Structure 1
Amino acid sequence: MIGTEFINGQGLGNQLFCYVTARAVALENGYEFGTAGQERFAVNIHSDRGMYFMDVDLGHVITEEEKKKFRVYHDVEDRLFIGNSRHDLTHGCYVAGADPKIHQVEDNTLIYGNMQDESYFIKYLPQVKQWLRVKPEYDSYEYSRENLCVINMRGGEYTGSPELLINRKYWLHGMEEMKKIRPDMEFVIITDDVETAQKMLPGIEAHHFDIGKDYVTLKNAYYLLLSNSSFACLPAHTSETLQFAIAPKYWARHNVSDGYWASEQNIYSLFHYMDRKGRMFTAKECREELQRYKKTSAKYKKLNVRPQGARLTMLRAHAWYVYKKAYVCKIARGVERRLKRVLHVQN
């Protein structure tokens, strides 16, 4: 039996990737499939209702006692210790790509880790669509139109991390790109943080429904402008309507990367990627560019090496600068919004 465990603190996107990858590996090797921690599936800070909108077969229930009999396999862990934040200095910025050994795990193994590379599951995509089939009573095409782009904006805990929260320029560039496809394109935001979305893109309709309707709205969209959140990845891959999707180049370090991806696993053939200047890249171009970067980057020569001494001091100073700069920009944007409201009232 091959399985995985649902862990406290995982979001639904992370859990679905763990589920899909582990089940695909089990199928690939002809093993039975099971999961531990089933009571934690789809239970997180965003929802405590469990998986009510899909009838997901979680396989054999692996109990705490049974877990002791399983081997443990961890998806590859590669990290860069860089001065973007305390997190990246303390824990490292996760940059790993695909782990080819995951396909050869032995029977009676629990797989843990990021598990988000498309190579883990893509050849079983027809089966994945069945595994993640939404119950008819929860499916919705309310925001499924050929001239409507659904923006999936992640806020919440991201708002306190300037290296992580996608900035306003990305969204504006993305909307411009979508209008090149259809000049009559309209937009709606699906988000976990309506307040932040309204500040980021005032005037654009923004919603946070229950987690099920958020999910199906993304799944049934014709056009997607995505954040660096795993929540939208599998809805996009299982969509029957999607025509075009834009995601942030470098994924979780779109704002600060000089060429590395956080992580490489989040380069998907389905998506097109936009950099900070609004330039578009295919997944193939992103992968090729990353391979060149790895060969020449001084950062990658220190992969998985924790900084010490003077280098650590320098990186801490840079992290402080990144956060202070973001704080000043946040204040400036707030002042700008207030001035616009005052001028609007006066006019």
Structure 2
Amino acid sequence: MARKLNVAIVGATGVVGSIMRRLIAAERGNWGEVRLIASPRSAGKQLDVGDEVLTVQAIGEAAFDGIDIAHFDLPDEVSAEWVPVAAAKGVVVIDKSGHFRMDPDVPLVCREANPGEAANRPKGIIANANCTTLALIPTLAALNAEFGLVSMSVASYQAASGSGKEGLEALYAQLQKIAGVEGLGTMGSDLRLVLGEEFDAPFGAPLALNVVPKVGGWKDDGWTSEELKVRNESRKILGLPDLKVASTCVRVPVAVGHSQVVHATFEREVTVADAHRVLGAADGVDLVDDPANGVFPMPIDSVGRSGTQVGRIRQSVDFPNSLEFFVVADNLMKGAALNSIETADLVRRELEAAQ
């Protein structure tokens, strides 16, 4: 009988870490030891993994002794420091940061699109794509396989939790502040006076009753890092280096669930009926498309769901071989924790078979 592998959650105390603990608890029988790792200030905390209560260990070289697979959910600069340390000890690292995603020697894996790439990891590292990209990929992968994706234009409406716990707390604080103000409906731009500059963090502007057309840092020619991730990561995962992509990423006052409007053009003719047939059978996709009866994807209905929801599918009137559709996914679940878990399961089966 194959030895059960040991797994670590690095960044176990964060928002995504809490979901990771729940998902690993659901498949607890597949694993040997489960180890929780976080920053030194979190060391000693007691956290639940299902029925178990485990003590958080401080990140350090010794924390990876005996670990086979480690899920990393840390800021880019922290992952850059510690992921190579873990990999050098023989740990297969699945990293959610952006630091390694475009490294040609690090596969960028999404189970619905390129699961075989999980075994091609010369550095011992597998990257988890950005949450916005992962919301798109299951739908795009299915349509690309059938019709040949040529180009896409994407506008994303991204939840506050995409900025982690800080983002959620900021949105809730702003809403609470606004809720105590009388006559708000007549205030218009004076809303900035109600909130003040202290509520600009972490989005660069108030988010409550507002949208902010900036997600990530500014890059060349007015693009943001998030917009470039959608382009570059989609190309890499789908194996389409020449895919034409335009993306605009907007932060909206939603707690959980990234939404995206997609205009996609294909090599071959495609109809709404064709898209329904393909997406209705696609792995990791929930077809939610009956607008006449009020059925379409919304972030409020995506929370906690493992699938990417797609609906509002229309055939473009002015663009040949093109579709318009609306995609929604839980950015903390599918966009982070679940994809990491699914990738780890691919590696676990591979390593168990090799014993």
- The two structures have a TM-score, normalised by structure 1, of 0.29
Higher strand share: 2
